[in-house]
Amino acid sequence: MGYFSCNAESATAICDSYNFDIKRKPNNKPIEIREFPYDDLVAATNGFSADSFLGKGSHGSVYKAILDDGKLVAAVKRMKYPKQTTSLARRSCTTCVAAENEIEILSRVRHPRLVNLIGFCPDSNDGKLIVVEYMPNGTLHDLLHSRPRPPGWTRRVRLILHVAKAVQALHSSNPPVIHRDIKSSNVLIDGDWTARLGDLGLALRGHVEDVRVRCTPPAGTLGYLDPGYLAPGDLSAKSDVFSFGILLLEIVSGRNAIDVNYSPPSVIDWALPIIKHGEYASICDRRIGPPAESAVIRQLAVLAARCVRSTAEKRPSMAEVVECLTVVNERVHAPIWNSLKRRVRRVEEEEEHRPSFVDGGGHDLEEVVRSTRGSRRKLNRKVSSVLGAEYEGEDEAMIGERVLRSRSIGSVNEIKAGSGGGVRKGVGVAVKVRLSKSRSVGAVLGSPKIVRRNKRGFLIESVRLDMSKLVISLDGERSDRKMLEKPLVSI
Ligand SMILES: Nc1ncnc2c1ncn2[C@@H]1O[C@H](COP(=O)(O)OP(=O)(O)OP(=O)(O)O)[C@@H](O)[C@H]1O
């Protein structure tokens, strides 16, 4: 978007020499690609109305479509062919080629990090209609450059890891797929805030030595295009690694790949000298500042610099990139868990030194139970709200993130300290708390009521977090690792 795109004149025009496997999903079920009647798609988009319009690319416009009596929401790409295109002329028409190519590749490759194909409408005179999964949260480009609140580091790292996994999936398919147009406007964000790589119009499926790959002219988007990819024979998966490196710099710096407001305008020319001097924090998006852990930005910057090396062979493979980003992703979450762990430990220590609750006068049993319930209500409310704030609205600015985090931890502290006046803690009763979605945290903590009597017959309630058993679900996905020892957010 916004950049000049090179042409892929014959990305699929040359006869495909592959005898492709039967279309299969990983679970061995064939991928179902639907064929939609033109009229159904016209109805589903209200006649391609302005209300349904989602955006425009170099090959046509994209519309939101409501299909199957409202059960399916999809995006329809209307790839307009030039007027009076004959079948012969279509062979060299870039839009026609891109449309055919996208359908051909996406009907064979399916992955949760890709914008997958649902179906298509056979040729109409108008052009080709491709029906793909609808991505309600727009593009990564818009998220980085057009939203008033830029995403924080946890979200940025998570999104770039999603993209890395998508590219790795393409490269490791058989035969491999080289995307050739990795850029922020081709990364879309789904309803779970997962990044999905889309727009496979320029992609090539095949081994580098294959005729088709060797005969297809270079293509891509300026600013992201591998400078070493000058002739068809130069293409390899490492060209995608280069574009990915540019995207990584864009995510870290919040700068466009090419931005004339900067000198030098190219993000790579601007960032590389800074990275070489080890001034990693200087390339961070100024709107959010550097991440809490300096190792996070160092690792991201060094990885980006490796991806954009001029010698293609020296660039890492996407498998290596995924591995590296997985580590960074763990690290970027570490401050949250370390801080939570520290506070819980402090509270436990305080509890150990707290004088025994029973004072022998003034409090009756009912009063104890009442105060305990009050404390628990506080716990429910704060923990769930904090988790919601941190993980559902995490794309607030960095300052917001920090405030919310400290509040989330404080709330755990507060519960224990707050209830200390009426409740003695740590008497061996442990509630193993499973935190699934933020919504359910309060409910889970509230549900088990564990009450025992102390020596004098008073009720004692214990709410104790068994931290090694925490199961926290982020963006609908689960991780049940020992999160505090190895904090890892499921990706
Ligand atoms: N699956 C989708 N769900 C929701 N919106 C989409 C979807 N695909 C594309 N869009 C919207 O439509 C716009 C145009 O997308 P398209 O893929 O045609 O072009 P582009 O990638 O932005 O540009 P170019 O074609 O030059 O690469 C996107 O910027 C996005 O806002």
Structural tokens at position 310: 């001029």
Quick one: average pLDDT of 371-384? 35
State the distance from the centre of ligand 1 to the C-alpha of 152, rounded, in angstroms: 24
* Band of residue 446 on the pLDDT scale cut at 50, 70, 90: very low
Say whether 372 sits in a helix, a strand or coil: helix
Between 87 and 80, residue with greater pLDDT:
80
Is the pLDDT at 143 greater than 50, yes or no? yes
* 301 vs 284: CA distance, rounded Å: 9
**What count of other Cβ atoms lies within 10 Å of the Cβ of residue 111?**
18
290-318 pLDDT, tens per residue? 999 999 999 999 999 999 999 999 999 99
Calculate what percentage of the chain has a pLDDT beyond 90: 50
Calculate what percentage of the chain has a pLDDT beyond 70: 62
pLDDT at 124: 65
Instruction: Point out the catalytic residue in the list 123, 126, 181, 269.
Output: 181
State the distance from the centre of ligand 1 to the C-alpha of 59, rounded, in angstroms: 10
Flag whether 425 is marked binding.
Answer: no
State the distance from the centre of ligand 1 to the C-alpha of 93, rounded, in angstroms: 20
Between 178 and 412, residue with greater pLDDT:
178
Residue nearest to atom 1 of ligand 1 (CA): 134
State the distance from the centre of ligand 1 to the C-alpha of 194, rounded, in angstroms: 16
Say whether 396 sits in a helix, a strand or coil: coil
Nearest atom within ligand 1 for CA of residue 57: 19
168-186 burial code (b ≥16 CB/10 A, e <16): bbbbeeebbbbbbbbbbbb
**Would you call 181 a catalytic residue per the annotation?**
yes
* Band of residue 454 on the pLDDT scale cut at 50, 70, 90: low
183-227 pLDDT, tens per residue? 999 999 999 999 999 999 999 998 877 877 778 999 999 999 999
- ipTM of the complex in this document: 0.96
Residue nearest to atom 21 of ligand 1 (CA): 186
pTM of the model: 0.68
pLDDT at 246: 98
pLDDT at 485: 33
Residue nearest to atom 16 of ligand 1 (CA): 57
State the distance from the centre of ligand 1 to the C-alpha of 466, rounded, in angstroms: 46
Nearest atom within ligand 1 for CA of residue 5: 26
Between 178 and 124, residue with greater pLDDT:
178
Q: What is the DSSP letter of 8?
A: -
CATH number for the region 138-335 comes to 1.10.510.10
- Domain residue limits, the chain: 34-133, 138-335
Between 486 and 348, residue with greater pLDDT:
348
**Span 34-133 CATH architecture:** 2-Layer Sandwich (3.30)
* Band of residue 474 on the pLDDT scale cut at 50, 70, 90: very low
Query: Across all residues in the chain, what is the average pLDDT?
Result: 73
Is the pLDDT at 391 greater than 60, yes or no? no
DSSP string, 460-489: EE---B-GGG--EEETTEEE-S-TTTS---
pLDDT at 93: 77
Residue nearest to atom 12 of ligand 1 (CA): 55
Residues within 6 Å of ligand 1 by CB: 1, 5, 54-59, 62, 75, 77, 115, 132-135, 138-139, 185-186, 188, 198-199
Q: Which of 5, 45, 62, 142 to mutate to test the pocket of ligand 1 (most atoms within 8 A of CB)?
A: 62
Residue nearest to atom 15 of ligand 1 (CA): 57
Is the pLDDT at 270 greater than 70, yes or no? yes
pLDDT at 27: 55
State the distance from the centre of ligand 1 to the C-alpha of 187, rounded, in angstroms: 9
Of 3-17, 73-87, 280-294, least confident by mean pLDDT is 3-17
* 191 vs 168: CA distance, rounded Å: 22
Between 211 and 326, residue with greater pLDDT:
326
Q: Which of 59, 130, 199 to mutate to test the pocket of ligand 1 (most atoms within 8 A of CB)?
A: 199
Closest C-alpha among 286, 210, 185, 301 to residue 12: 210
Nearest atom within ligand 1 for CA of residue 133: 1
240-264 pLDDT, tens per residue? 999 999 999 999 999 999 999 888 9
Domains 34-133 and 138-335 equal at CATH topology level: no
pLDDT at 468: 41
pLDDT at 28: 56
pLDDT at 215: 85
Nearest atom within ligand 1 for CA of residue 62: 12
| Cβ proximity of 45 and 37 under 8 Å | no
pLDDT at 205: 92
Residue nearest to atom 29 of ligand 1 (CA): 55
First to last CA, the chain: 27
Nearest atom within ligand 1 for CA of residue 61: 18
Quick one: average pLDDT of 374-401? 32
